Amino acid sequence: MSKVKSYLSLIRFSHTIFAMPFAMIGFFLGISRPVIQQRWNLNRTLGWDHSMADYARIFILVVLCMVFARSAAMAFNRWLDAKWDALNPRTAIREIPAGIISKNSALRFVIFNCLAFIVCTWFINPLCFALSFVALAVVLGYSYTKRFTPLCHLVLGVGLSLAPIGAYLAVTGAFSLLPLLFSFAVIFWVSGFDIIYALQDEEFDKSQELYSMPSWLGKAKALRVSEILHLLSAACVVWAGIYGEFGWVYWGGIIVFMGMLIYQHILVKPNDLSRVNLAFMTANGIASVIFAALVITDIFLHPLHMYGAFFIIPK
C-alpha cells in the first residue's frame, strides 16, 4: 500500500479531477447522438446499433484510457524533470528526487501505462487506436516544451483537451463540432490555470533558463494572459451552449464555471501567492466537476435540442 500511495502521489492522481469530468461530457454527448438518431428514426440508415453492454464496455475503456494516458504523462514529466525538481525547494520532496521512487522504476511505469493506453484504444475502435499514438506524442511531448517555449502552458492544455473529443470518438467514431468546442474550452481553461500555478516558480525558472509565462513576462503580465485565456474558455462554453441549444441546467453550469474562473483570479495577486493552491486545486476542481455534472444532466433532459449540433435537420 505504501508503494501504491507513492505512485499515486508521483502522478498526482487527485488532479484527474480536471480532465476526467470533461471526458464524461464527451462520452455522454456521444451517447446522445444515437439517442437523437433513434428518436428521428435515423439509427438504421446511419448504421447505429449500440446496446447498453456496448456503452458500459466503452465507458470502462474510456476511464482506463484517461487513467493510463494521464499516469504516463505525469510520470514521464517527473522522470524527465527530476534534475530540476531536485534543485527547486518547492519540488525537492517529490518522489524521484527524494529517493522514494527510482528513475528506472518511474520509466518502467511510464512504458507500462503507454502500452496499456494503446491496448485499451485497440478495443474501442480503429480510429481511437490510430490516434492513440498522436495523443501520447502530445501528452508526453509537453514535458519538453518548458525547455524552449513559454507557450508550454498551451501544450498542456492541448493534452488535456483530448479528453472530451477522445471520449466522443470512442462512442461515435466520428468528429463533431460540439465536443470540439468543449475541447477548446479545456485548452484555454487549463493553460490559464497552469500559468497561475507556474507563478510560484518564476525566479527558479529564470535561474535555470526554463520557459514559462511568468519567467518570460513577469507575474503581473502573466496573470493578464491567464485572464485572457480564461475569457476565451468562457466564450467556448457559451458558444457550445448556443450551438448545442442546451437548456437552463447547462447555463447554470456556466455560471458556476465562470464564477470559479473569476474566484481564482480574485485569490491570486502578483504580490500574494499564498492562495495559489486554493485557486489551482479547489476552484478548478469545483469548476470541472459541477460544470460537467450539470452539462450531462442537461444532455439527458434535452436530447432533441442538440439534433442540429450533430446533423443537418432534414426539411
Domains of the chain: 2-310 (1.10.357.140)
Residue 187 contacts residue 157 (beta carbons within 8 Å): yes
Between the alpha carbon of residue 57 and those of residues 113, 218, 273, the distances in Å are 19, 47, 44
Under 8 Å between Cβ of 252 and 294:
yes
99: left (phi over 0), alpha (psi -120 to 50) or beta: left
Tens of pLDDT, residue by residue over 42-93, are 344 333 455 678 889 999 999 999 999 999 999 999 999 999 999 999 999 9
Q: CA 197, CA 277: separation in Å to the nearest integer?
A: 8
Q: Which three cell numbers stand for residue 261?
A: 474562473
Dist CA 254 CA 292 (whole Å): 10
Residue 304 pLDDT > 70: no
Give the Cα-Cα-Cα angle 160, 129, 8 (nearest 5 degrees): 45
Query: pTM of this prediction?
Result: 0.90
pLDDT on residue 248? 93
Q: What confidence score (pLDDT) does residue 277 get? A: 84
**pLDDT of res. 40:** 41
d(CA 241, CA 275): 31
Please give the average per-residue pLDDT across 16-44, as a whole number. Answer: 72
Q: Which residue has the cell 527530476?
A: 82
| Stronger pLDDT, 189 or 1, i.e. the higher one | 189
C-alpha cell at 117: 493506453
What does the alpha-carbon distance between residue 117 and residue 61 come to, in Å, rounded to a whole number?
9
Helices 52-80 and 2-10: angle between axes, nearest 10 degrees: 80
pLDDT-based confidence at residue 38 (cuts at 50, 70, 90): very low
123: amino acid identity, one letter: F
How far is Cα 31 from Cα 122, in angstroms, rounded to an integer?
Answer: 20
- Three cell numbers written together for 58: 466503452
Q: Looking at the predicted structure, is the pLDDT value of residue 307 above 80?
A: no
Q: How confident is the model at residue 39 (pLDDT cuts 50, 70, 90)?
A: very low
Average pLDDT over residues 143-156: 96
> For residue 21, is pLDDT > 90?
yes
| 209 has pLDDT over 70 | yes
Q: Where are the alpha helices (DSSP H) in the chain?
A: 2-10, 16-39, 52-80, 82-87, 103-122, 126-145, 152-172, 177-198, 202-207, 213-217, 219-243, 248-267, 276-277, 284-301, 307-310
**To the nearest 10°, the Cα dihedral for 53, 54, 58, 60?**
10
The pLDDT score that the predictor gives to residue 247 is: 92
Averaged over 267-276, what is the pLDDT? 91
Which residue type, as a one-letter code, is found at position 11? I
Residue recorded with cell 487549463: 190
Q: Which comes out higher in pLDDT, residue 202 or 303?
A: 202
Sequential DSSP letters for 244-279: TT--HHHHHHHHHHHHHHHHHHHH-BTTB-TTHHII
Share of the chain above pLDDT 70, in %: 90
Burial degree of 126 (CB within 10 A; 0-12, 13-18, 19+): exposed
- Segment (H or E) for 43: none
Full 3-state SS string of 6-18: HHHHHCCHHHHHH
